[in-house]
């Protein structure tokens, strides 16, 4: 019988599953036992800033209807709320409530604990290397977006420096 090395996808999925299980167990211990794995992923993509349901659906690779159902469930539990977009009144955004922020802070503490344990297992240098590698762009599109963001940030920095120079004169 031939043995195959595991594909990168399988390795990443198994490690993501391991982290999700830890986060869900921690949520339960800290009074957030009603948070499902799907809600956890939704909140991770929400990342503390209001976001439209269509964008969340795209990031989660599910239908807008599925995201709406999940967001409604999270809202009924008090973790998120729907708000109107300031730019387009037809668009509803999702944002954390105070309970959602509290839950996110609890999750962040668990993620830090997970990283500390991982650093003990594989070494802090390897953990930092792993994070650096995973943060690299994996496609030409990602590289272009990163370069564009860098260019925009540089342009904003230059504009701000020009303004402060003129004000100083």
pLDDT in tens, 17-55: 999 999 999 999 999 999 999 999 999 998 878 999 999
Query: Are 25 and 68 found together in one domain?
Result: yes
d(CA 91, CA 100) in angstroms, rounded, equals 21
Helix (H) or strand (E) holding 160, with range, is helix 140-168
* 68 within domain boundaries: yes
Using a pLDDT cut of 70, give the percent of the chain over it: 90
Using a pLDDT cut of 90, give the percent of the chain over it: 70
Query: Are 82 and 114 found together in one domain?
Result: yes
The crossing angle, in degrees rounded to 10, of helices 124-135 and 98-122 is: 120
Q: Which residues contact 122 (CB under 8 A, 6 or more apart)?
A: 130
The β-bridge partners of 142 are none
Structural domain containing residue 141: 137-169
Task: Indicate whether 60 pLDDT > 80.
Answer: yes
Q: What is the DSSP letter of 49?
A: S
3-state secondary structure of 52: strand
- Starting at the edge strand found earlier in the chain, the sheet holding 92-96 runs 51-52, 92-96, 80-84
Query: Are 114 and 146 found together in one domain?
Result: no
Query: Are 85 and 145 found together in one domain?
Result: no
What mean pLDDT value characterizes the chain? 89
Question: Could you tell me the pTM of the whole model?
Answer: 0.76
């Amino acid at each position: 019988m031939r043995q195959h090395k595991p594909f990168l996808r399988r390795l990443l999925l198994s490690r993501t599953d391991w982290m999700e299980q830890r986060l869900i167990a921690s949520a339960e211990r800290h009074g957030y036992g009603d948070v499902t794995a799907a809600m956890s992923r939704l909140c991770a993509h929400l990342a503390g800033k209001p976001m439209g349901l269509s964008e969340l659906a795209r990031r989660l690779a599910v239908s807008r209807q599925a995201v709406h159902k999940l967001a409604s469930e999270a809202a009924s539990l008090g973790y998120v709320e729907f708000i109107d977009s300031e730019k387009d009144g037809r668009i509803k955004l999702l944002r954390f409530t105070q309970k959602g922020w509290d839950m996110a802070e609890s999750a962040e503490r668990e993620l830090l604990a997970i990283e500390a344990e991982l650093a003990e297992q594989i070494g802090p240098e390897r953990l930092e290397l792993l994070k650096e590698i995973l943060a690299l762009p994996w496609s030409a599109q990602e590289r272009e977006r990163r370069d564009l963001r860098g260019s925009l940030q540089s342009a904003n920095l230059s504009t701000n420096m020009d303004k402060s120079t003129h004000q100083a004169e």
